[in-house]
Chains A and B, each alone.
Chain A
Amino acid sequence: MIQLPSLSAVAAFIAAALLVRLYFVLPMFGRSSRALSSRRKGKAVARAQANKMLCVVLGSGGHTAEMMRLLQGVDFSRYTRRLYVVSDCDVLSLDQIGLVEGGRSIQNEEYYVGRVPRSRKVGQSWKSTPASFARCLLSVTSLLYNHRPDAILCNGPANCVVVGAVAMLLRIIGIKHIPVIYVESFARVHSLSLSGRILYLLADRFVVQWPGLVRKYPRAEYIPHLV
């Protein structure tokens, strides 16, 4: 009679398989973001027409204003659909989306606004943070699962940590590989924000706007004068 493998052997095998999977899918183990950057300088990227969806994570005032400037560099004829992730208490970002989308109505075939509970308000007590974080996590998961964007662009609000984590989860379990592009705020000259430090591990591309940060964070790529 064939002996069944013991429970601990099965668990060890699954754990090992998971670790191998994580090694291959998580950006922090992968190729250097900067290597890609130098490759970019060498060749022109084909800008084929494509019906892709770009997910844009918006936060509060400063982050949103900067994101609106960054979006000027994105070819909307290639990313014909946009999914904006906005905190449910953030009405100012809705106005900004209206402006960047050329004053079209809030929900049509070209862009969609997903409002999620804020993961952590400025000054919120750390004790109540897990519950609001969980609500935000569920909401973001259903958004990304339902829309399955082709790329995620974020620049620092707390919600981008949740969006980045959910994107990695979808990648690990094999639902979709959604690249995460993080642009650290222009305001960060010498150190990363908390979101930045976490996204440094999760993002496929990590862009900073000041040269000093590349010395501290080698996976980062420095692109000047973006905003």
Chain B
Amino acid sequence: MAAYVTVGSTGFDELVRTVSTHEFLQALAGRGFSRLVVQCGYSVGLFKPPPTVSETFGITMESFDYTSWPQRLVDQADLIICHAGTGSILEALHSGKPTIAVVNRGLAGNHQNEVASELAAIGYLVVAEPRNLASVVAESTYASLRPYPRADPRPIGEVIDEETLL
């Protein structure tokens, strides 16, 4: 099984550091994952897993700053761990893959956290912070999430039609 970690278009130092810790990789291996792909954005230098961890846990790892084709990685993943930006969350939910949205407390006045916690309350995703990400993976609550409904933007077309028919 593969896990895909994505920080989106900027960076997220704490998340990238967290997913290279012994504790996190152990949790991942404990849930049966054998592959970890990390899109780091500008936090790219911070993915430094302990040297022997690959052999210890049997996880192959890959990291890069940006990718031109994230969809392929999303499709291949069995778990998506993304930063809690609205765009990333929507991409992850539409993919139908179990999603853990990681909140960045460092961003002040950020409404993204509202979206993540609201969606978590409905049961579409799991919210975590870098400091508890390993235990959230270990608990594997992500495995019993509700599927996110298919987006349907057609009502917007209908609203515009109504207004232009008047």
Contact of B152 among A62, A73, A185, A191 (CB under 8 A): A73
Asked if residues A40 and B162 are in contact (CB atoms below 8 Å), the reply is yes
Contact A50 B164 (CB under 8 A): yes
Contact residues, A60-102 vs B (CB, 8 A): 61-62, 65-66, 69-75, 78-79
The count of chain B contact residues (Cβ–Cβ below 8 Å) is 28
Residues of B within 8 A of A62 (CB): 85-87
Interface presence of A52 (CB below 8 A): yes
Separation of A197 and B160 alpha carbons in the complex (Å): 21
User: Cβ of B164 and Cβ of A151 under 8 Å apart?
Assistant: yes
By Cβ-Cβ distance, the 3 closest A-B pairs, closest first, are A73-B153, A179-B163, A189-B114
A187 and B151 within 8 A (CB): no
Contact, CB under 8 Å: A205 / B149: no
Contact A153–B160 (Cβ < 8 Å): yes
Instruction: Report which A residues bind B (CB closer than 8 A).
Output: 36-37, 40, 45-47, 50, 52, 54, 61-62, 65-66, 69-75, 78-79, 150-151, 153, 179, 181, 183, 185-191, 204-205, 207, 210, 223-227
Q: 20 A-B contacts, Cβ less than 8 Å apart?
A: A37-B159, A40-B162, A45-B165, A50-B164, A61-B9, A62-B86, A73-B155, A75-B161, A151-B163, A151-B164, A153-B156, A181-B163, A185-B86, A187-B115, A188-B114, A205-B159, A223-B155, A224-B149, A225-B150, A226-B152
Determine the chain B residues whose CB is within 8 A of the CB of A54 once the complex forms.
Answer: 160
B72 located at the interface, meaning its Cβ lies under 8 Å from any Cβ of chain A in the complex: no
B127 to chain A, nearest CB (A): 13
A residues in contact with B111, CB < 8 Å: 187-189, 191
CB pair B86 A187 closer than 8 Å: yes
Interface of B is mostly: helix
Q: Are A179 and B166 touching (Cβ within 8 A)?
A: yes
- The majority secondary structure among interface residues of chain A is loop
Q: What residues of chain B have their CB less than 8 Å away from a CB belonging to chain A?
A: 9, 85-87, 90, 111-112, 114-115, 118, 149-166
With both chains docked as a complex, state the minimum distance between the C-beta of A181 and any C-beta of chain B, in angstroms: 6
Kindly identify which residue among B9, B87, B118, B166 contacts A189, using a CB–CB cutoff of 8 Å.
Answer: B118
A183 touches B150 (CB 8 A): no
B156 proximity list for chain A (CB < 8 A): 70, 73-74, 153, 181, 183, 207, 223, 226
B152 / chain A contacts, CB cutoff of 8 Å: 73, 225-226
Which residue on chain B has the smallest CB distance to residue A69? B153
Q: Is the Cβ of B158 less than 8 Å from the Cβ of A190?
A: no
List, in ascending order, chain B residues with CB within 8 A of A153's CB. Answer: 156, 160
- Per the bound structure, the CA–CA distance linking A50 and B164 in Å amounts to 10
Complex Cα gap A213–B166 (Å): 27
